[in-house]
Amino acid sequence: MKPYNTAILSVFIAVFSVCIVSLISMAGKYEIKRELDGIGLNGISVTAYNSFNENITDTGLYNLLDECDEVESLTPVLFDYGEIIFANGFKSQSMCWGISPSAEDIVNLETVSGRMLVDADINSTGFVCLIDENLAMESYKRSDICGKYIQLLTNNGVFDLEIIGTVNKSSSVLNSMSGDVIPNFVYIPYTTMEKIYQKTNLEQILINVSDNEITENIIVDYIINNSQNYDNIKLKVTNLNNQRENIDDIVEIAFLALFLVGYVALIVCSISVAASVNTAIINKRHDIGIKISLGARKWDIVSEFLLYSFIACVIGITAGISRGTLTLYVVNLLLDKNYIFDFRLLIVGLSATILLTIIFSIYPSRKAAGMVPVEALNRE
């Protein structure tokens, strides 16, 4: 039984490794997707410059784009840095974003507690803000801190902002990996942002279009054809989806490389199964000799050991998938996530496990079938 157990254990380890790599792949892609959504890497960015290359993006351009039939939603965007001080003394260097309520759809902000910005906040230049959930956890060890106030320190003074909501932006994942490279985010009405930072222009306008076939040139033509104010200026219209696709390609290659590393376990598994088959053949030399003497065909001997490999493979795969599924359940339970396996990688890995196991078992099986009965029966 020992050779059988070794083969089953080898397949189990290989399949469990494939499950873990598949889980890491899918979880990583999911978190990176949320990160890109959270920082607004989708839609189209529009910025206007004058002949001196100065930003002159204004609310006039925003209103013009708002009337465009091809634009599904849009938000003005301003951003700057500032120091955030909470009432309990906690401090954080953060990036402040000036947005409108429609930004919820464009950058995929998810409310954890409280509420999102509304038009009344924009119209009244309300001194309110949304903060990242991870920033709330760092400051008060809980996500619901609505009603508390923060102080925003800028070069123009100190401003009190009421926290009206926390949002689950995905920066917490990359933030924990990159230290202070990616700052915490604070979202405030763009009209308030203009007042606090004394900005006269928007940094850019983010738009979502109604059809993916709508290109940057279509947006530029619309702006030029519908307003004489933008005849002699430079319009920078960037399709952020193209940049996102480039990042997605890089991520795909990275996880493919990770999966190829996982294939080392499959190769080791296959070699171990072949060694187990060879050990089983040595232990059964006498039985093989008797079967050959009684007229057993070579295929009968080969099929017997291939069946042995296949059964060991099935048992090992079943055990590996069961343990991998249990690991997936525990990870989702502990992290409160809904991760799934990357089934494409999982299916390829399982298929490769079966195929390599059979291939590596053929040589020792054929070797057993080619034994001379007298030599096989001559055991010490």
pLDDT value at residue 190: 93
Mean pLDDT comparison of 4-8, 9-13, 29-33, 160-164, highest-scoring range: 160-164
Domain range summary for the chain, segments of one domain joined by +:
2-34+247-377, 57-232
Residue predicted with more confidence, 193 or 370: 193
Residue 166 binned pLDDT confidence (cut-offs 50, 70, 90): very high
Q: What is the pTM (predicted TM-score) of this model?
A: 0.58
pLDDT beyond 70 at 178: no
Task: Write the pLDDT tens digit of every residue in 236-260.
Answer: 888 766 666 666 667 677 777 767 7
- Report yes or no: 368 and 305 within 8 Å, Cβ to Cβ: yes
Residue 1 binned pLDDT confidence (cut-offs 50, 70, 90): very low
Residue 179 binned pLDDT confidence (cut-offs 50, 70, 90): very low
Question: If DSSP codes are grouped into helix, strand and coil, which group holds residue 53?
Answer: coil
Residue 306 binned pLDDT confidence (cut-offs 50, 70, 90): confident
pLDDT value at residue 174: 36
Name the residue type at position 140.
Y
Of 30-39, 63-72, 344-353, give the lowest mean pLDDT range: 30-39
CA distance 12 to 315: 8
Nearest 10 degrees: Cα torsion 301, 304, 306, 312: -150
How far is CA 248 from each of CA 27, 30, 175, 261, 290, rounded to the nearest angstrom?
A: 14, 11, 19, 20, 60
Question: If DSSP codes are grouped into helix, strand and coil, which group holds residue 218?
Answer: helix
- Report yes or no: 51 and 71 within 8 Å, Cβ to Cβ: no
For the chain, the average pLDDT equals 78
Residue predicted with more confidence, 278 or 311: 311
Residue predicted with more confidence, 17 or 151: 151
Percent of residues, the chain, with pLDDT higher than 70: 74
Supply the Cα-derived Rg of the chain in whole angstroms: 31
CA within 13 Å, CB half, 183: 17
Task: Write the pLDDT tens digit of every residue in 4-16.
Answer: 677 778 778 878 8
SS3 annotation, 244-276: HHHHHHHHHHHHHHHHHHHHHHHHHHHHHHHHH
Percent of residues, the chain, with pLDDT higher than 90: 16
Name the residue type at position 99.
I
